[in-house]
């Protein structure tokens, strides 16, 4: 595979432009073209400059191959990378705008029992530019520009564990919010991790104030180990400590994802234990009924149980919401679409 221009910051693109003997303003043209989601051949730069770049850099590192639209308006995208690998993403419409869910790896090696992304293990990490490219391609397709973005919020909740691809993800986050680019602020970004404690702590020191989200899905280490292998490595106590560090460094409250799984973590006792665990912490709980994945024999709870769980948490003083499940008719959950394609 050739290199990816979108991995570079503006300063790095400027240095590259200079090394090609081109005038400085060409760097701005190149940068803006890339940020508009254009392929290299469609960016108005001199022919010789383009040819030189094409020798080393991909023409189109992330291409939209298919788009599926759900009854509820959610769109699911299948992207193809330059080496032929497939990844997926989702665009959800909310009253406050559109939120795009991006992948950070091809596959995943965390092995969560309820997740389709991990079925075939991890194939490779995405580069920073391959993560950004998903957003730029969708923004362009949706008619967005750099002044008026079609994508307002970004969640790193597609396939992959962001902190298992730490350097590229941090580089992506810096390029995502850079002035003059697509300029999406960390405050409009949620990063979800299964709880890689050392990286969570390291990330606190980066000073990137986003919405740090941790996939908890259980109230004790023992129960967590049943569905999340990573719980054998790090305890819930260590995760909470890392969350505290993030809060101290950034002033941002953190969020816990809790997928309600029938017969596993969704009894009233669990709601009470969860409340006891989180009481008084600057956090929020996002409940979601598990999206059933055909290859896994775990099921989500019914809507009523989910509502009761939410009510109990709220009664006990925990800030919580129940997320609507969107796009379930188009394989909306992590890794479902890619798994289907690879299966063919
Ligand atoms: N690797 C990261 C981010 C990707 S998954 C993480 O583990 O947080 C984004 C969220 O979707 C996580 O909370 C994950 O646990 C959850 N998830 C995965 N499969 C799911 C399913 N079938 N139904 C509901 N949530 C699921």
Residue written as token pair 């770049």: 53
Residues forming beta bridges with residue 288, ordered by sequence position: 259
Nearest CA, atom 8, ligand 1: 193
The active-site residue, picked from 88, 130, 161, 264, is 88
Residue 333 CB less than 6 A away from ligand 1: yes
Which percentage of the chain shows pLDDT scores above 90?
88
Same domain, 51 and 200: no
Structural domain total, the chain? 2
Q: Does some domain include residue 63?
A: no
Claim to verify: residue 232 and residue 192 sit in the same structural domain: yes
pLDDT in tens, 25-63: 999 999 999 999 999 999 999 999 999 999 999 999 999
Which member of 108, 112, 194, 334 is catalytic?
334
DSSP 70-96: -TTS-EEEEEEETTS-EEEEEEEEETT
pLDDT value at position 78?
96
Q: Is there a single domain that holds both residue 81 and residue 107?
A: yes
Assess whether 191 and 316 both reside in one domain. Answer: yes
Residue 334 bears catalytic tag: yes
Q: Are residues 48 and 72 in the same domain?
A: no
Residue 62 within a domain: no
- Check whether residue 42 and residue 114 sit in a common domain: no
Tell me what pLDDT residue 340 has. 62
Task: Judge whether 169 lies within some domain.
Answer: yes
Q: Is residue 61 part of a domain?
A: no
CATH of residue 52 = 1.10.150
Is 145 within a domain?
Answer: yes
d(CA 167, CA 312): 39
With DSSP H G I counted as helix, E B as strand and the rest as coil, what are the percentages for the chain, rounded to 5?
Answer: 40, 20, 40
**Do the domain assignments include residue 203?**
yes
Instruction: Give this prediction's pTM.
Output: 0.95
Nearest protein CA to atom 14 of ligand 1, as residue: 215
Atom of ligand 1 minimally distant from the CA of 108: 1
Q: Which tokens belong to 233?
A: 């490595």
The answer to whether residue 334 scores a pLDDT higher than 80 is no
- Quote the pLDDT of residue 289: 95
Which pLDDT does position 293 carry in this prediction?
A: 76
Question: Where among 56, 77, 95 does a domain terminate?
Answer: 56
Nearest CA to ligand 1 atom 18: 115
Instruction: Give the E-state strand segments of the chain in sequence order.
Output: 62-69, 75-81, 86-94, 97-101, 105-107, 122-125, 153-156, 189-193, 211-215, 254-260, 283-289, 320-322
Residue range 223-228: average pLDDT? 97
Instruction: Name the pLDDT band for 343 (thresholds 50, 70, 90).
Output: low
pLDDT, tens digit, 9 for 90 and up, residues 135-145: 999 999 999 99
What mean pLDDT is predicted for residues 222-235?
98
Give me the CATH number covering residue 116.
3.20.20.70
169 lines ligand 1 (CB under 6 A): no
pLDDT of 333 strictly over 90: no
Q: Which numbered atom of ligand 1 lies nearest the CA of 257?
A: 13
Average confidence (pLDDT) over 286-307: 90
Task: Clarify whether residues 168 and 300 are in a common domain.
Answer: yes
For all residues of the chain together, what is the average pLDDT? Answer: 94
CA of 177 to the centre of ligand 1 (A): 24
In a 3-state reduction of DSSP, which class is residue 44? coil
Instruction: Say if residues 250 and 187 touch (Cβ distance below 8 Å).
Output: no
Percent residues over pLDDT 70 in the chain: 94
Between CA 16 and CA 36 the distance in angstroms is 19
User: Has residue 131 been placed in a domain?
Assistant: yes
336 and 291 part of one domain: yes
Hey, is 179 helix, strand or coil? Answer: coil
Please give the residue range of the domain that contains residue 10: 5-56
Residue 260 and residue 216 share a domain: yes
In tens, the pLDDT along 182-211 reads: 999 999 999 999 999 999 999 999 999 999
Give residue 21's pLDDT.
96
Do the domain assignments include residue 172? yes
**Bigger pLDDT: 96 vs 218:** 218
Distance from residue 259's CA to the centre of ligand 1 (Å): 8
Do both 172 and 36 map to the same domain?
no
Judgement on whether residues 107 and 138 belong to the same structural domain of the protein: yes
pLDDT of residue 171: 98
Is 164 found in the same domain as 121? yes
């Amino acid at each position: 595979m050739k290199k990816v221009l979108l991995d570079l910051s503006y300063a790095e693109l400027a240095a590259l432009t200079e090394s090609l003997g081109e005038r400085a303003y060409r760097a701005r043209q190149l940068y803006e073209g890339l940020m508009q989601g254009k392929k290299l051949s469609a960016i108005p730069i001199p022919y010789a400059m383009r040819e030189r770049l094409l020798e080393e850099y991909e023409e189109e590192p992330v291409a939209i191959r298919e788009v599926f639209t759900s009854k509820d308006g959610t769109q699911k995208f299948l992207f193809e990378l330059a080496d032929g690998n497939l990844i997926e993403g989702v665009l959800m419409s909310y009253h406050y705008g559109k939120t795009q869910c991006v992948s950070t790896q091809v596959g995943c090696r965390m092995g969560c029992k309820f997740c389709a992304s991990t079925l075939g293990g991890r194939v490779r990490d995405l580069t920073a530019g391959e993560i950004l490219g998903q957003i730029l391609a969708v923004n362009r397709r949706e008619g967005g520009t750099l002044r008026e973005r079609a994508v307002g919020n970004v969640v790193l909740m597609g396939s992959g564990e962001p902190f298992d691809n730490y350097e590229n993800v941090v580089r992506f986050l810096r390029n995502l919010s850079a002035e003059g680019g697509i300029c999406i602020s960390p405050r409009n970004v949620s990063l979800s991790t299964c709880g890689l404690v050392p990286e969570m702590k390291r990330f606190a020191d980066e000073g990137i104030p986003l919405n740090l989200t941790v996939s908890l899905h259980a109230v004790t280490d023992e129960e967590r180990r049943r569905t999340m292998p990573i719980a054998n490595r790090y305890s819930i106590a260590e995760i909470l400590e890392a969350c505290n560090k993030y809060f101290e460094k950034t002033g941002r409250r953190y969020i816990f994802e809790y997928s309600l799984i029938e017969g596993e973590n969704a009894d009233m006792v669990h709601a009470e234990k969860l409340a006891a665990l989180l009481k008084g912490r600057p956090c929020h709980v996002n409940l979601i009924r598990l999206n059933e994945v055909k290859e896994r024999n775990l099921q989500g709870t019914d809507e009523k149980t989910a509502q009761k769980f939410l009510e109990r948490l709220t009664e006990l003083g925990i800030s919580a919401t129940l997320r609507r499940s969107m796009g379930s008719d188009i394989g909306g959950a992590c890794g479902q679409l890619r798994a289907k394609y690879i299966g063919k």
